[in-house]
Structure formats: C-alpha cells, structure tokens
A and B are shown apart, each in its own frame.
Chain A
Amino acid sequence: MQSNLFKKLILFLIFFSIYSYSWAWEEFDYYLYKGSTGETTTVAWDDQPYDPNVPGSWCPLVKFQIKIYNVERDIYFWIDKAIPRNVFEYTYSFPKTGHWISMIRVDQKCELPYRDPASPECNNHNEVDKEDGHEYSEWSESTNSDVSIVNGMARGWWHFTWIAAPGPF
C-alpha cells in the first residue's frame, strides 16, 4: 500500500516536472520590447549624476560592465566597456531567442586612464591605484522609456527576441 503511494508520488513528480518545463516558455506571458536575435537594440539606464561622494561619478569616462541575462536558458553574456559617465545607453544584439534582462554596473575605482586631471576628487583618490581588483556598484536594470512603457511606467528590462525572418524572394 505504502509502496503504491510512493510510486504514485514519483509519477506525479515526473509528470509535474515535465509539465512545468513544457510551459517554461509560456510562463512569461508579457514582454516590453519584441525584437529579433542579431538585430541591434538600444537599451538605456537612468543617468548617474555627479556626486562628490560617489567614486566613478567624477570621471568623464567610466568603466562599466553590462550583462544580458537570458531567463529561459539561464545564461548570460558580459560586455566590458568604458563609456562617458553621462551616456547611459548601449546598443547591441541579443544572440539567442527568449526573454532578456539587461543590467549594468559601474566600476567605482575611477581608474587612472579615465580620470579628468582637473577633477579634484580624482586627484585626491590616488590610493585606488595601489589596490588590485575592482569595486563594482550594484546592478541596475535597464530603463528605456522609448521602447518600454507599461501602465505609464518606464520598465524596460524585458526584451523578447525571436529568430529574424528571411527576406522576401
């Protein structure tokens, strides 16, 4: 009797896991921007204003790490880029099909090649050169109001990409 119950439980678990997996793609029944893999897409983040207390906000050029995360496949791609502090958008293409979250973080080390010599904060922050490694901020998710307004709110981290159709013949 107990053995039968155990078998039923196992069968139920197997069925449930297959059922859940088969619906994994349909679980995300909304997306904010639809595009194609290989097609260039611009994503943006909120501006990081100058703040004398925030390392990294002093530099004209800042080293960023951009991460695009594919929800269904649980994989992500990294992009390391030095871009001007006040330009918080980046254009790239999504390499696989599915839902993506775009994230960015800044290296707050304010490394020497990116410093503004006229910036007193940079010149007073020489000690960072002696340290190894990086000092990254928290991840920020993209907010591109041009492509993603939901209920009046800019929430642009969901991108859904599918294979691009061939051209007409």
Chain B
Amino acid sequence: MSKMAVPGKLAPHNIKFLASISPDVVTHRFYYQESPDPVTYDSAYVSLGNEKDADGYINADLAALLGSMLLDGIYNVGVAAIDDNGNESPMSKANDYPLDFVAPDAPGPIIKL
C-alpha cells in the first residue's frame, strides 16, 4: 500500500555552498535524482538564485523549495551555476543524500476521557 501524503508542517532543510566565483553567473540550480540513478543536467531542478551572504555562500531551505514535490527517499543531488548566456558550470554533487518532505500521518482523533 502506498503511503498517502497529507498536509502538514515540514521541518526546514537548510543547505549552503560557496557560490561560483565566475563574474557573470545569474543563478544556481539544485538538481535531484532518486538514487541509484546518477544526477545529471537532465534531472529535475529548482533555481536557487545568486544571492550570497557576507562569506560568499548561497543559503537555501530545500523544504520551502521542494516541499510540494513530496520527496521522501535517498537522492543523488548536485548544484551548478548558470551564466547570463545560459552556459552551465560543472556540478558539485553529493550522492545518497536523504530528502524527506512528507509529513507523517496525523494521529487519531482526540478522545475526551
């Protein structure tokens, strides 16, 4: 029986990585692919933008970006930078990365004793 996703409150899933040093980068992409398939440029992705903190890191909450996709499992993931011409950098990858954006089933109804 497949697990039925229900609405709920997802815990934040924060990641950060050093932004590309290339001067004409306009955005970064987070790619994800269910393991064991390798993550590639054809995998699904979300855009992370190019807003850096004071130390040059891009920060993102994957739960906010991917929460509606109901991902729950082990994934091969990667981030890449895209310049103003649409060219894409090599990907920084992490394999066997757990993602869980499915809230547990609600408990049963409250019974007044």
Q: Identify the A interface with B (CB < 8 A).
A: 36-39, 93, 95-97, 162-169
Contact = CB atoms under 8 A, between A and B. Distances in A.
Majority secondary structure, B binding face: strand
Contacts of A166: 17-20, 28, 58, 79-81, 89, 92
B25 interface: yes
Interface of B: 15-25, 28, 57-58, 79-83, 85, 87-92, 94
B28 A169 contact: no
Contacts of A38: 20-23
Nearest to B21: A38
Given A36-B22, A38-B20, A38-B21, A165 B91 contact: yes
A162 B89 contact: yes
Contacts of B19: 166-167
Contacts of B21: 36, 38-39, 164
Nearest to B48: A166
